[in-house]
Amino acid sequence: MPTPMSRRSQIKFLLASAGLTIAASALPVTAQAASVSLLETGSTLLYPLFNIWVPNYTKAHPDIKITTQGTGSGTGIAEAISGVAQIGASDAYMADGQIKQNPSILNIPLAISAQTINYNVPGLNKVHLKLDGPVLAGIYSGTIKNWDDAAIKALNPGVKLPDHAIVPIHRTDGSGDTFIFSQYLSFSTPKWNNSVGYGTSISWPAVQGGVGANGNPGMVQASQQTPYSVAYIGVSFHAEIAKAGLGTAMIKNRAGHFLLPTAKTVSAAADGLIAKTPADERLSLVFSEGANSYPIINYEYAIVNAKQANPEAAKAIKDFLSWAVESKGGNAAKYLDVVRFIALPAHIQQLSKAQIAKIQ
């Protein structure tokens, strides 16, 4: 006796009888949402913020996958140019020469951040030592060798400074932190500017006992493990700096005042330069004028090629970055306060949105 047809077999039989064919695997038909994968890589200063943004954004946009990597600003710029990454994160804007060679690359500010100068001096890590550009340039060039040097004493009257060699720590990777730190040294100290200059990678003067470290995590670790050291570290690592028990210096600004990086002092520094920001948004915010301006701040950039491989990737990047610069999106205090960044002023938001609109 014939075996009764299954429901699937009956459907196939009826379709075949009508002169149609269908693959058995196509029954039933299930719709699947299209998925886009993006790679963000670069700045270790921006990395903590992307790691807050991405889970929140992709939860609401499950069709988009964003992988984040903290590889240093130099790598972020290079991989955005090469197409390995769709979003390169950088604390530094691209130089004129790089832009000339890569005219389709955009430098899009996402937020404003700062850099701290930290030290591990036994007995003084709870004191905010005062430091300025010429002293830091002297330390990193090897002309100021000891913590009780007369130049440091002059900035810190009444503080008992140790007779011990200073250990300067610098980044070994291509770094936006190095870019803005060396800009502060260059803008405040002509001798440094004429001999070393600034950049994401520079030829550091040979200083006996100096230490190199990779990324902001490496800078924190090296500082913690090296008594009498000094280092420059991105403000987004404030929790790690505190956990390591490092001291934070008050830095001398252009007006001659010594300040710590706070929302007020970083905002004051940025406010004076908003109107000077060009349409392509490549502008240094370092050592700006103003009595209350903290001197080492910067735009945090997304380095993006305006010409993407396909429309789907272009749309995903535009949507994410548009959300990131919105006051009700990624620029909301609930995200930025965690890493001690400040939001883009309204005028800069509009400039960033105009650049984002160019992505295709």
How far apart are the C-alpha atoms of 132 and 300, rounded to whole Å? 24
Check pLDDT > 70 for residue 226.
yes
Q: Are residues 83 and 147 in the same domain?
A: no
Whether the bond into 28 is cis, omega within 30 of 0: yes
pLDDT at 194 (0 to 100): 97
Whole-Å CA distances, 123 to 89, 126, 161, 344: 37, 8, 9, 38
- CA 20 to CA 46: how far, in whole Å? 57
Radius of gyration of the chain (CA): 26
In a domain, 282, yes or no: no
- 27 — pLDDT class (breaks 50, 70, 90): very low
pLDDT digits (tens, 9 = 90+) for 165-210: 999 999 999 999 999 999 999 999 999 999 999 999 999 999 999 9
Please calculate the CA angle 98-102-108 and round it to the nearest 5 degrees: 80
Residues 284-343: tens digit of each pLDDT: 999 999 999 999 999 999 999 999 999 999 999 999 999 999 999 999 999 999 999 999
How much of the chain exceeds pLDDT 70, in percent? 91
Q: How confident is the model at residue 19 (pLDDT cuts 50, 70, 90)?
A: very low
Whether 247 and 153 share a structural domain: yes
Taking only the tens place, the pLDDT of each residue in 79-130 is 999 999 999 999 999 999 999 999 999 999 999 999 999 999 999 999 999 9
What pLDDT is attached to residue 155?
98
pTM of the entire predicted model: 0.89
Average pLDDT, the chain: 92
C-beta atoms surrounding 143 within 10 Å: 14
107 and 140 fall within a common domain: no
Q: Answer yes or no: do 133 and 257 share one domain.
A: yes
SS3 236: helix
Asked if 185 and 196 count as a contact pair (C-beta separation under 8 A), the reply is yes
Strand, coil or helix: 245: coil
Cα distance between residue 77 and residue 41, in whole Å = 9
- For residues 329 and 315, membership in a common domain is answered with yes
223 assigned to some structural domain: yes
Which CATH number does the domain housing residue 213 bear? 3.40.190.10
Say if residues 330 and 99 touch (Cβ distance below 8 Å). Answer: no
pLDDT at 14: 33
CA distance 232 to 118: 6
Task: Evaluate whether residue 88 is within a structural domain.
Answer: yes
Task: Among 276, 309, 336, identify where a domain stops.
Answer: 276
Q: Name every residue whose Cβ is closer than 8 Å to that of residue 344 and which is 6 or more positions away in sequence.
A: 109, 110, 111, 112, 325, 331, 352
Q: What is the pLDDT of residue 34?
A: 55
Which residue range forms the structural domain that includes residue 139?
115-276
Q: What is the pLDDT of residue 56?
A: 97
| C-alpha to C-alpha distance for 11 and 110, rounded to whole angstroms | 56
Banded pLDDT at 58 (limits 50, 70, 90): very high
- pLDDT of 130 reads 98
Asked if residue 263 and residue 331 are part of one domain, the reply reads no
Shared domain for 103 and 230, answered yes or no, is no
Q: Is position 288 within any domain?
A: no
* Separation between Cα atoms, residue 348 and residue 210, nearest integer Å: 39
Q: 329 and 245, same structural domain?
A: no
Phi, psi of 242 (to 5 degrees): -65, -45
CA–CA gap between residue 25 and residue 356 (Å, rounded): 42
Going by the DSSP 8-state scheme, the letter that residue 291 receives in this structure is T
**Count of structural domains within the chain:** 2
Give the rounded percent of residues in the chain with a pLDDT score beyond 90: 90
Higher pLDDT, 108 or 23: 108
Question: If you ran DSSP here, which 8-state letter would residue 309 be given?
Answer: S
At 246 the pLDDT is 98
Is 184 part of any domain?
yes
Pairwise CA distance, residues 215 & 161, whole Å: 29
Give Cβ neighbours of residue 17 (< 8 Å, ≥ 6 apart). Answer: none
